[in-house]
Structure formats: structure tokens, C-alpha cells
Copies of this chain bind each other. A is one copy, B any other.
Amino acid sequence: MKPFFNVQTVEQVRAYAQAVQRLASEEVDLGRALGRSLAALLKAPHDLPGFDRATMDGYAVRGRDTFGASETEPGYLRLIGEVLMGQTPPFQVGPGQCARIGTGGMLPDGADAVVMVEHTRNLDDGSVEIAKSVAPGTHVLGAADDAAAGQVLLPEGHCLRPQDLGLLAGLGLSRVAVVRRPRVGIISTGDEVVPVESQPGPGQVRDMNTHTLSAQILQAGGAPRAMGLVKDDEAALSEMVARSLKENDLTLLSGGSSVGMRDFTAQVFMSFPGAEMLVHGVAVAPGKPFIWVQSGEAHLIGLPGQVASCMVAFNILVEPIMESMLGRQALAFTRFARLQARLMRNLPSAQGREDYIRVRVGSNGDGVWQAEPVFGKSGLIRTLTQGHGLVRIPLEKEGLDQDSQVEVLLFPRS
């Protein structure tokens, strides 16, 4: 253990987070793959759609046969048959010929374009009047337009969205290898904290952090496991952390609100084999008393006990660790949805510290979003329940001016 530790920046913590190893993979059904991370890059096993398809109802033609056709000077093609859906047409379209086709139908050999039915007239003599010229490829999906066999379609670590599942289905991949969910143990501490089901006695409060963190872990793609509440007692804490360390990839310890507790959280973390302290204190508000110790493949995190600090510290400092475990190569806009807004108050801030201010977003109906800071101590959960997101004041700034344009990092589902 290094004897002395300097407070680090959020950027330094994120650099450590990026070095965290990805977890192993597992196979899941397509119906359970939403939001999971691809364990390997996705290559197309075959062309998609696999054959040339019409995208309109009309007539399959050879494009060159329609050149010059117009409303005033239509062309005429011989109708040789109809394409049945889901079948290979048993004929070929030769020069001067055409075939009736519906949207999604397979283009017959020889044809390379479709004339929309609106621009045609079916004549009694077995021919079709064509009132529009179409270039080859018009109203046709090429056999490899969606994907060509062997083409890389999605990168490793990609978070699967509805359309990605549609693509996998189109390729016949009904099971998919994804990164397993990080198991995240949650420990709440404090002599004054009781479980939600209990009636608090005088001077006691119910545990809020376990519930907020569980839901945050779910949203971040992890599997939360409430390990339990522990009193301000070093032996009890040590035992519970040891159990969590064995069972989970990541352990979050929130609280230690008493003086003694804070002092021995780091000691307990460092007592495990191969423990290495990566971070002890971050230049960020809220979130300063953040502790990160690595022991083997597992990670132990100390979070502030104050409810608002705990939640924001998770957003800013823990989620990047989980993203690395999930192998995500997220673009910066993926973790927080962003909203441009006008700041409705001056926000002072200390230089040399990143500040995250909780704000409520509203509007006068004029299309301009307004960000109103929710002031209140970080022990108050209402600063979060009344808020829609966070405004960041960078390290080097001394605050933000009223009426300036700010970017709100929205809480998920706000």
C-alpha cells in the first residue's frame, strides 16, 4: 500500500477504468439480448437479403428497355408472367419483356429494375404500357445491399439495440454471444441505517442507497446483488466485503458515515490478497471520498454515504468501470443523453474541482429548455428526484454564468 495518496482527477479515474479487463462471454437467445454487449464483432454469414428484391409493386423490367419512356411517349413491353412471393420466378425477362411483381418479390433473371404500377397500364393484348423511364437498380434492393457475406456489421462490445436484433434475426442468428453481466455487490453501512421493511426507531433512517444503486447497476447493464447492511464494525465489514469479493466482479460500499467507518474502509479493502489502491479521493463534487482498490480480478469501491453524492459518484466514476467490464466502446454521448439548455442561475464553483450540479429542466413553450439548479444538501434525495440531470462545471472554471448555454447530462429515463 502506498503510504500517501493524492486526490486524482475524474480523467485519471477514467483512464484507470479503461484499463479494466472485459468479462467472459455467454450465449443468449435473441429475445433476451436487448442491451447486452456483443462478445465478438459481427460478420455477415451470408448476403442479406440474399437475392434482388422489388421495393415497389409494379413490373420487373430491363432498365434499358424503358429509356425514353414518358407520359406523352410511353413504351410497350410484353408481359410474360407474374412473380409469386417467396418463390424463384420460373422465367427470365428478355429484351422487350416484363413481369408483374409485388413489393418484396424476387427479381427474375434478366430484369434489373421495377417500374411502379402507377406508371403503367396493362393492355388487353398482353402488353404493358410504360410511362416512365427507370435506370437499372430503380426500386430494387440488391442481394447484398443490407450485408455482404463476410462484411463486418457491428463491432465487439456493441450494445445491442432493437434494430441490431432485427439484423441478427435477418441473418438467422437466433442465439448470440454477449459479454456476461458484471455482478455487482452492494453493501450499505451505518449504525443508524435500517432496511426498507423496518420501522425506523428514533435517530434511524431507512437504507436508500441500496435501492438507488441496484437500479443504476441494472441500467448500466450489470446484475445487482444486495449483500446487506453492516454496522460500523470493522470485523463485520471485513467479513461482508470478503464474501462480496469472492462472489462479485465489483463491490460497492456506500456510506461509512461515521468517523471511524471512513477510516477503516480503506484498511479493510487493503487487507485482501494482492490489493492495490488505485484511487483514494477524487477532485469532484459530489464524489470526493471515492476509494478504488483492485484485488486480483475484482474491484472494491468506496462511495460516499450521502444519497445524492452516492448516485452521482456512480454515474461519473463507477459506470466507466462497468463499461470496460462489458467491453463497450461507447461514443461519449451514449452514457448520458444530452440536452442544450439555458442556465437560469449563476453557478459558482471552486477551481481545481469538477462540479456536477443537479438541475431541473423546464420550458416556457418557446422551444428553449431552461436548466434550473436544484439546490440542497447532498444528503437529500429530493435534489435527485426533483432533478432531470446534471450540469458539469469543468476543473478549470470558476463557475457558470446565468443565461449561458449549458449541456444537461440527463438522468436515464428523465
Chain A interface residues (CB < 8 Å from chain B): 30-31, 34-35, 48-51, 53, 55, 57, 84-88, 102-106, 117, 141, 145-147, 153-154, 159, 161-174, 190-194, 196-197, 199-216, 218-219, 232, 257-259, 305-307, 311, 331-334, 337-340, 361-363, 369, 376-382, 384-385, 387-388, 410-414
Contact = CB atoms under 8 A, between A and B. Distances in A.
A219 B162 contact: yes
A400 B51 CA distance: 35
A105 B203 contact: yes
A158 to B, nearest CB: 9
Given A410-B333, A413-B35, A382 B167 contact: yes
A316 to B, nearest CB: 14
Contacts of A378: 55
A381 B166 contact: yes
A203 B369 CA distance: 50
A334 B202 CA distance: 40
| Number of identical protomers | 2
Contacts of A218: 34
A208 B172 contact: no
Given A162-B211, A163-B212, A163-B387, 7 more contacts: A53-B379, A86-B194, A102-B257, A161-B413, A166-B311, A331-B388, A338-B340
A31 B141 contact: no
Contact of A153 (B173, B331, B363, B382): B382
A376 B379 CA distance: 51
Contacts of A362: 331
Given A141-B380, A192-B85, A333-B339, A203 B51 contact: yes
A211 B165 contact: yes
Contacts of A86: 190-194, 201, 203-204
A125 B190 CA distance: 31
A162 B254 CA distance: 15
Contact of A104 (B161, B192, B216, B340): B192
Contact of A166 (B30, B307, B410): B307
